[in-house]
Amino acid sequence: MYLTADIQARDPERARLAAAFEEFVAAGKTVHRLPGPGEQRAAGVNHHGAPVFLPLREQNQHIHRQPRGRQKAIDMVSWENRQELIERYRERILEAHAQGMSEATISTAQRLTRAQVRMIASAIGVTLRQRAKRKKAEPTIAQLADQVEARPPRDQQDTARELARIRKETAAAMQALERLENRSRRKA
């Protein structure tokens, strides 16, 4: 574990990575900073849109960490891969988000895993919906006309039947209420 900035600066591997990063920035490429372990995601929410609370003090440096050598290798490879992935899919995911598409729909359309879609969305500061909106198909004019024609005309008999049914339901509801009141009186 690195304790101070001067110890970090002495580490040749970190210096090499820092130089590579400076080259990357000098080349004019965009850097998307992803939240590391224990850091908040964009706008203080996770990919579900729920607020993220950071672990307290010392705890956050141990979250999801592997042995140092392997972790460095994973960090380096995945950092480059993530940057490339973000560059490639940034516009598409922003477009899909503007259209109101959900995470699952985007992942299917772009042939990415849902985790990759969440990671890219988090890097560009977008919160995606977990479910797609269900759109009700609006009936056409012809369908509406068919419904009107198929509906029988209301006459007095239909109205009387409807009133009788409503009275019956009301009486049943009143009886149920009385039973509930009687039970509550007995218990009290």
What are the structure tokens assigned to 131, written together? 């479910």
For 109, the token pair is: 């359309």
Residue 49: which of 91, 103, 99 has the closest Cα?
103
- 10 Å Cβ neighbour count for 42? 17
Residue predicted with more confidence, 22 or 47: 22
User: Alpha-carbon distance 74 to 57, whole Å?
Assistant: 25
Mean pLDDT of 59-86: 66
Contacts of 24 (CB under 8 A, 6+ apart): 31
- Looking at the DSSP bridge assignments, the partners of residue 102 are 129
- Residues 9-42: tens digit of each pLDDT: 677 887 888 899 999 999 988 877 666 666 655 5
Q: Which segment of 17-21, 78-82, 160-164 scores lowest on mean pLDDT?
A: 78-82
- Global model pTM greater than 0.75: no
Res 65: pLDDT: 55
Q: 3-class SS at 51?
A: strand
- Residue 129 sits at φ, ψ, to 5 deg, of -75, 150
